[in-house]
Structure 1
Amino acid sequence: MARVWKCSGLRWSGDGPVLVWDGGRPSALHRGKRVAFEVADAEERTCVGARGHACPSRAAVPGRSTGARCEECARLERAHSVAADRNADDPRPYHVYLAWFGPGMVKVGITAVARGSARLLEQGAVCFSRLGTGPLMAARRAEELLRAALGVPDRIPYAEKRAVRSALPATAAERAAEIGELHRRATALGGWPESLEREPFRPVDHAGVFGLAGLPPAVGEVGELVAGGAVSGELVAVAGPDLHLMTDGAVVVLDTRLMTGWGLRPVRSTGGTGCTVPVREFRGPAGVQDGLF
Structure 2
Amino acid sequence: MARTWKCSGLRWSAEGPVLEWEGGRRTALTWGKRVAFGVEEGGVRTCVGARGHACPLGVVVPGRSTGARCEECARLDRAHSVAADTLADDPRPYRVYLAWFGPGMAKVGITGVERGSARLLEQGAVCFSWLGSGPLMAARRTEELLRAALRVPDRIPYADKRAVRAVLPGTAAERAAELAELHAKAVALTGWPESLDRAPFRPVDHVRVFGPAGVPAAAGEVSELVAGGAASGELVAAAGPDLHLATGSGSGSVDGSGVVVLDTRLLTGWGLVPGAGRGFDLPVRALRGAAGEGAGVQDGLF
TM-score by length of 1: 0.94
How many residues align? The count is 285
Pairs within 5 Å for 1:230-269:
230-249=230-249, 250-267=258-275, 269=277
**Paired residue for 1:116?**
116
Question: Take 1:284 and 1:163, find their aligned partners in 2: how far apart are those partners?
Answer: 5
**Pair 1:143 & 2:143 matched:** yes
Partner SS state of residue 5, structure 1: coil
Q: Distance in 2 between matches of 1:78 and 1:213?
A: 37
d(CA) in 2 for partners of 1:156 and 1:18? Answer: 23
CA distance in 2 between counterparts of 1:68 and 1:75 reads 12
> For the Cα contact (< 8 Å) 1:166–1:215, is it kept in 2?
no
C-alpha separation in 1, matches of 2:31 and 2:78: 33
Displacement after TM superposition at 1:29 (Å): 0.6
Counterpart contact for 2:39–2:228, Cα < 8 Å: yes
Cα deviation for residue 287 of structure 1 reads 5.6
Contact 2:163/2:289 (8 A) holds in 1: no
Residue type at the aligned position of 1:255: D
Identity of aligned residues (%): 76
Partner of 1:167: 167
CA contact (8 A) 1:164 1:286 kept: no
SS, match of residue 109 in structure 1? strand
CA drift of 1:284 comes to 5.2
Find the aligned partners of 1:214 and 1:72 in 2 and give their Cα distance. Answer: 44
Deviation at 1:2, TM superposition (A): 1.5
User: Residue in 2 aligned with 1:25?
Assistant: 25
Equivalent residues in 2 for 1:74-93 (5 A)? 74-93=74-93
In the alignment, structure 1 residue 156 sits paired with structure 2 residue 156: yes
Shift of 1:173: 1.1
Counterpart CA distance in 1 for 2:101 and 2:276 is 37
Partner letter of residue 277 of structure 1? L
1:157 Cα deviation from its structure 2 partner: 0.2
How far the C-alpha of 1:286 sits from its partner, in A, is 4.9
Task: State whether residues 164 and 287 of structure 1, in contact with CA within 8 Å, keep that contact through their aligned partners in structure 2.
Answer: no
CA distance in 2, matches of 1:150, 1:62: 37
2:130 is aligned with 1:130 = yes
Change in CA separation of 1:285 and 1:67 when aligned onto 2, cut-off 3 Å: closer
Contact 1:165 1:212 in 2 (8 A): no
Amino acid at match of 2:270: W
Whole-angstrom distance in 1 between the partners of 2:115 and 2:137? 17
* Equivalent pair of 1:217/1:286 in contact (CA under 8 Å): no
Q: Structure 1, residues 4-38: CA drift from partner, whole Å, max 9, x if none?
A: 11101001112211001111100011110111101
Deviation of the 1:43 alpha carbon:
0.6
The answer to whether 1:277 aligns with 2:282 is yes
Q: Deviations over 1:30-53 (max 9, x none)?
A: 110111101010011111110001
Take 1:20 and 1:56, find their aligned partners in 2: how far apart are those partners?
22
CA distance in 2 between counterparts of 1:215 and 1:152 reads: 31
Residues 117 and 283 of structure 1, relative CA distance in 2, 3 Å threshold: closer
Q: Deviations over 1:222-263 (max 9, x none)?
A: 000000000111101010000000113421100000000000
More strand by share: 1
Task: Indicate if the aligned counterparts of 2:225 and 2:266 stay in contact, CA closer than 8 A.
Answer: yes
1:279 maps to a residue whose letter is V
* Equivalent residues of 2:36, 2:276 under 8 A apart: no
Aligned AA (1:242)? D
RMSD of aligned residue pairs (Cα, Å) = 1.3
**Structure 1 counterpart SS, 2:219:** strand
Structure 1 counterpart of 2:201, one-letter code:
F
Specify whether residues 168 and 212 from structure 1 end up closer, same or farther in structure 2 by C-alpha distance, changes over 3 A only: farther
* Alignment-mate amino acid for residue 251 of structure 1: V
Gaps of 5+ in 1: 289-293
Q: 1:166–1:286: 8 Å Cα contact kept in structure 2? A: no
Task: State the match for 2:206 in structure 1.
Answer: 206
SS of the counterpart of 1:238?
strand
Partner secondary structure for residue 6 of structure 2: strand
Q: Which residue of 2 aligns with 1:94?
A: 94
1:291 maps to what in 2? none
Give the drift of 1:212. Answer: 5.6
Q: Which runs of 4+ in 1 moved over 4 A?
A: none
The code of the aligned residue for 2:230 comes to A
